[in-house]
Amino acid sequence: FDFDHYEPLYFNENTNPLISIVIPFYNQHVLTYLCLKSIFSNTSNKFPYEIILVDDASELNNLFQDSLHGVKLIKNHSNLGFLKSSNKGATG
């Protein structure tokens, strides 16, 4: 599987979302991007939502980060694990 292109994704920035989608990840930039692309392609503005990514101290990937717009990105300084990263994303 060769993946070297992150097409920009422009999510709407909702100031009052009804739904928060929290996605913790660790060094899985391609899978996380594909997850986000699926959300982007299969949702509408009928229900305002926000995307909160929690980077659990991954290696830096500027191409990934630069492709995401309207997404809140929280970066952990150390690896907290799935549960603590999920909770951190849920509390903002």
Residues 5-53: tens digit of each pLDDT: 899 999 998 889 999 999 999 999 999 999 999 999 999 878 899 999 9
- CA pair distance 47, 76, nearest whole angstrom: 29
Q: What share of the chain is helix, strand, coil (3-state, %, to 5)?
A: 30, 25, 45
pLDDT at residue 60, as a whole number: 87
Q: Is the pTM of this model over 0.95?
A: no
CB neighbours (10 Å) of residue 33? 21
Helix (H, G, I), strand (E, B) or coil at 55: strand
